[in-house]
A and B are shown apart, each in its own frame.
Chain A
Amino acid sequence: MTPRNPLDLRKFVAPEFICGSGALQLAGRYAHNFGMKQVLLVTDPGVRAAGWAGAVGESLTEAGVSFTVFDSVSVNPRSRQVMSGMEVYRSEECNGIVAVGGGSAMDCAKGIGIASSNMRDILTFEGVDRVPVPAPPLICIPTTAGSSADVSQFAIITDEERKRKIAIISKTLVPDISLLDPEPLTTMSRELTLDTGMDALCHAIEAYVSNASSPMTDMHALEAIRLIHDALPAVILEPEDLNLRFSTLLASLHAGLAFSNASLGAVHAMAHSLGGAYDLAHGRCNALLLEHVIPANYEAASEQYDRIGAIIGPVQGERTPPAEGIAAFRRSLGITGTLASVGVGEDAIQTLARRAYADPCMVTNPRRLTCEDIERIYAYAL
């Protein structure tokens, strides 16, 4: 791996965020303070049905801000959805975006923002630092505890033509403010809670072992791992408990601050490739890949992995091989299955590996993996 020197230059970007009960109600005030007059309220049908988009809309109305709802957002948001959102943004003459939802709604909102400020197709921004004109202000209200899109510089959009996910990485994608309210999390299903929770865990672990990590990101990453390990199993049993929900939200926030600055690694590179080809839930892909990536990376970041193992291990404090600890944690949550069980065939591995190899997340993986390495990991995970 790239040797780490504590004096290496690092940058830490974090948006303004407000966390706690009732944060959602501040949407109107901030929209107003940002000078928004006509807001595009980006959400998805599920969040809308649960009433959270309506609650944010009320706050906007109270602050005298008009809005148009755009909810044509699916899991793994498509470039076409982004472009139709941009059409609405322009035709309604919006001057700000409020996203209410999980990673999909927030990534779509980020995409709409840069597509409309640059007047370009969303697929042309693929890669790092390729957004010339910053997006209009974006207020995020996450309704899941995992994607951390509300604090990150990432947006993952699916190119439906080529069945692949593109990663857009730019500091201009960091939202202007995140309103972290535990209440919307209470309407998440068990499955969604688990998938997004495992996504947050992967964010924290990958940021912690990343070759771009820093003392600042390490601190957030470790705290996120601790919080998830403690709160995720508990919140499954008591989904209405606001304190537990808030712990998962904080975990996601910590993980987000860590990975937005230290970036990710092979798990995400491979999950993006998988999700693009099979339209699978992102968190589930991560959960099924994580324990197979660790052995491949271990030598390059053994110290970090051991520390993770010490936190996640079945008995805290005891030394367990970290991959085993992770696998046990996953099973304890009831996440079972393999890539094969979600429909991935052996014949697909080569293409999946090639795409994962080209994913920008691979750049910060602690070990430089070859295509063959990646193929092997996919094969283990089948």
Chain B
Amino acid sequence: MRFEPPDDRDMLREKIIGLGETSLHKSYYPELQSRLEELERFRALLDQTHDAIFLIRTETGKLADANASAGMYLGYSKEELLAMPFASLFSPQQKARLSEFIPESGDRPSDSRQTCITSLLSREGTEIPMEITVRSVTFGGEQYIVAIARDITDRIRTESELKIKESALESSTNGILIADLTGTVMYANPGFASMFGYEQKEAITGRNLEAFFADPTLGEKITGHLLDNRTIVDEMIGLRENGSPFHIQVSGSVVQNNARQPLCIMLIVMDITERILAEQMRRETYAQIEKNIEQFAVLGDHIRNPLQVIVGYAEMIDDPLVAKILDESCRIDGIVTELDRGWVESANVRQFLRKHGDGA
């Protein structure tokens, strides 16, 4: 034994007698206390989660444990829950549909994790849509099933809202294109596909914007412009799959997240070929009319000149018919004057029309 100075020996002797500060007979209590605290902490954690958690005895189908959320969703106290078979938390229709998931007493559940969408029956009888994940586990030689139920009321609502939005996009006659910030197409609606002559809209995704314009540099210009200015409205020449060009109007915007950072760009495309052609036709018609009327004015002069000659000659001769000739010449002049006035009036109308657009 090592040499101990006398003071240490006294202390050692005390310890051997069992009077040391930490001399204690074997007891698991302190350790048990700290484990219990740990367990309580964990329990609090489970109770804090939004998911309802159930522990079910496989043999009896009864609940062995449930967290606070389970009681909260369903409106039962924990004591009440623990006295109930898990299956009684489902409506009869759900129970029949989900017999492989919901353990009744004695059922052998499968070992793998399974998820199903169903609904739980609250105390008041309302059905709460839930996504339930069940899994079989063994604790201390006894078989249990852990069921974790997530309330999907919000998810279902969001999904149906999304569905509406999606079908609106899908059914729009305008072409709708969503591309990432580099111009790669992520989505094109059927309207876009048919406008650009694609058989399947899937053939569009993954392509770059440049593929859809006669001017291949336009794609890059559009994305650049959108990133700088957020929106764009312009008329351009689109290019169909078969290479034929056509007139389109493009309105684009940048889709942003909540932090106002750009996520992607969206283009709404309208085929404006008909409008452009109509405008062209109108323009040509106006030009023709103008030309006709100018010719008409010249025609008036052409009529008046020989008429003046006729009047001059008639005044020189003395004949009872002269008065008749002059009368008729006056009438012709009147008609030509009427025609001139009509031309001026129609010129005013044309001017008005030009000013106010529609030539129809």
Contact = CB atoms under 8 A, between A and B. Distances in A.
Nearest to A134: B29
A176 B31 CA distance: 16
B22 A33 contact: yes
A29 B27 CA distance: 15
Interface in A139-186: 176-177
A207 B34 CA distance: 40
A366 interface: no
A265 interface: no
Contacts of B25: 16, 176-177
B34 A29 contact: no
Interface of B is mostly: loop
Contact of B30 (A16, A33, A177): A33
Interface string B17-59: 0110110110101110110000000000000000000000000
Contacts of A176: 25, 27
A137 B34 CA distance: 15
A29 B25 CA distance: 13
A329 interface: no
Contacts of A18: 18-19
A35 B33 contact: yes
Contacts of B33: 35, 95
Contacts of B27: 34, 137, 176
A313 B126 CA distance: 85
B30 A35 contact: yes
A34 B24 contact: yes
A136 interface: yes
Contacts of A33: 22, 24, 30
A257 B31 CA distance: 29
Nearest to A177: B25
Contacts of A137: 27, 29
A16 B33 CA distance: 21
Interface bin, chain B: 10 to 19
B236 to A, nearest CB: 76
Q: Which of B18, B22, B27, B31 has the most CB of A within 10 A?
A: B27
Nearest to B33: A35
A30 interface: yes
Interface string B243-271: 00000000000000000000000000000
Contacts of B22: 33
A30 B24 contact: yes
Nearest to A176: B27
A171 B18 CA distance: 23
Contact of A35 (B18, B19, B21, B29): B29
B341 to A, nearest CB: 111
Nearest to B34: A35
A34 B30 contact: yes
A29 B21 contact: yes
B308 to A, nearest CB: 128
A108 to B, nearest CB: 21
A34 B29 contact: yes
Contacts of A95: 33
Contacts of A35: 29-31, 33-34
Contacts of B19: 18
Interface string A114-142: 00000000000000000000001100000
A169 to B, nearest CB: 22
Q: Which of A33, A34, A136 has the most CB of B within 10 A?
A: A33
Interface string A23-54: 00000011001110000000000000000000
A35 B31 CA distance: 8
A253 to B, nearest CB: 16
B150 to A, nearest CB: 34
A29 B20 CA distance: 10
Contacts of A29: 21
A173 to B, nearest CB: 16
A177 B18 CA distance: 12
A33 B18 CA distance: 13
Interface in B199-231: none
Interface string A179-217: 000000000000000000000000000000000000000
A29 B18 CA distance: 13
A142 B30 CA distance: 24
Nearest to B31: A35
Nearest to A136: B29
A166 to B, nearest CB: 27
Contacts of A136: 29
Nearest to A33: B24
A35 B30 CA distance: 5
Interface in A67-108: 95
B50 to A, nearest CB: 29
Nearest to B17: A18
A176 B29 CA distance: 11
A35 B36 CA distance: 12
Contacts of A34: 24, 27, 29-30
Nearest to B23: A33
A95 B32 CA distance: 11
Nearest to A96: B29
Nearest to B24: A33
Nearest to B25: A16
Nearest to B28: A35
A136 B33 CA distance: 10
Q: Which 8 A-B residue pairings sit nearest by Cβ, starting from the closest?
A: A35-B30, A35-B33, A33-B24, A16-B25, A137-B29, A34-B29, A35-B29, A95-B33
Given A16-B25, A34-B30, 9 more contacts: A18-B18, A29-B21, A30-B24, A33-B22, A34-B24, A35-B29, A35-B31, A35-B33, A176-B27
7 contacts: A16-B18, A18-B19, A33-B24, A34-B24, A35-B30, A35-B33, A176-B25
Interface of A: 16, 18, 29-30, 33-35, 95, 136-137, 176-177
Interface of B: 18-19, 21-22, 24-25, 27, 29-31, 33-34
